[in-house]
Amino acid sequence: MERGGVRRKLLKAQAEAGDIVLLFGDESEALTHPYLAHAWAKKGADLRVPAPGQAAKVALLGILDWARRDLVVHTSRTKRSSDFLVLLDILDQRYGPKPGREPQRPVVLVLDNGPIHTSKATRAALAAREHWLTIEWLPKYAPELNDIEEVWRDLKRHHLAHQTFLSADHLEHTIHNAVLCLNKERNRDPLDKPRIAA
């Protein structure tokens, strides 16, 4: 196993033990035209999904809390450093130190070396948070080491596939509803409502 995989296993073990908060960050995109996932059609028949007009794009900037299986998504019409800074502001609210709040466990954010993560503005924003946020850089060209990739696939295949959206606003609304559904599914505790034996 390469160095990145070993390091990721160690971080996951620490998160599972409750020693750290482990976050995976990345970006994806969705279109108003249909995302085609696996589908069946009768032999010889074409599967047709209407896609009128020109497709509009919505960027998804996300953070996956690995232990809680909680996904946070900020949507935008662009995918720039300024959009990533908005996501960092959301992280501040959720995980950053606040007066009167008990000190939290160390927070580790796993990121790839994409341009919006390595820009001058992003580096400055990350440096301003280094007292509570540690960045773990993934090796180049290793998306398989970023656990949020699986969540993006799930979101697209099961919540956005085979649909044509009327507008980027409609798509954004659907994305945010899908994230709520995904979080509810993934955070379901089987012992949440135990039955009492008679």
Please report, for the domain that includes residue 68, its CATH number. Answer: 3.30.420.10
Give residue 8's domain range. 3-34+54-186
How many domains are contained in the chain?
1
DSSP-H helix ranges across 96-161: 115-118, 120-128, 148-155
* Residue 166 and residue 31 in contact, taking contact as beta carbons nearer than 8 Å: no
pLDDT at 172: 95
Phi, psi (rounded to 5 degrees) for 62? -135, 160
Amino acid at 9: K
pTM as predicted: 0.84
pLDDT at 198: 41
Q: Is position 133 within any domain?
A: yes
Q: What share of the chain is helix, strand, coil (3-state, %, to 5)?
A: 40, 20, 40
The CA-based angle 22-171-32, given to 5 degrees, is 115
pLDDT at 39: 67
pLDDT at 195: 43
Q: Is position 156 within any domain?
A: yes
pLDDT at 36: 74
Q: Is position 39 within any domain?
A: no
Query: Which residue ranges in the chain fall short of pLDDT 70?
Result: 1-4, 39-40, 47, 49-51, 102-103, 188-198
Q: Is position 174 within any domain?
A: yes
Class of residue 177 by CB neighbours under 10 A (exposed 0-12, middle 13-18, buried 19+): exposed
Q: Is position 192 within any domain?
A: no
